[in-house]
Structure 1
Amino acid sequence: MIRIFQQRAKCIGCNACVEAAPQRWRISRKDGKCTLIGAKEKKGMYLVLVDEEEWVENVLAAKHCPARIIRVEKVE
């Protein structure tokens, strides 16, 4: 399993994460920010647990995020 974190409030809506991992990220029509699909919010941090097959795409999403608000880590 992998864990993906997003600090959505700091998102600038550049779409880099959507291009890297479209099955996990989407641009919100309401505010233009990127939304982590399936995530739960807790104290401003969005979190989702996914299978390891999504690792490569989401690491790229984190790497290409100019705001540096995405973190991806493996869960034991």
Structure 2
Amino acid sequence: MKLTENAVLIIDEEDVSGMYCYRDRDGTDFIDGFKFELQLQDIVVKQGSIASVQFPEEMYNQPEEIKQAVYTAIKELERENG
């Protein structure tokens, strides 16, 4: 996962696998798993710091669960961090 200069958050397949791993192994929901991944990679989410999210191509036919968790977590972090 990386945040570009253009405020695009790029999520790769390993990030998604990590969120599934946290859920299956630890019982962590996707939102909390995503927040944890952001912390690990020192990405701070503030209001307007993420303009769009780019998911791996493999996810376009996957359930919306991960995508919704990512967008929800971003909104929550924006509110928390201003």
TM-score band, normalised by the shorter chain?
0.3 to 0.5
Rg larger for: 2
Higher fraction of helix: 2
TM-score, normalised with respect to structure 2: 0.31
Higher RCO (CA 8 Å, separation ≥ 6 residues): 1
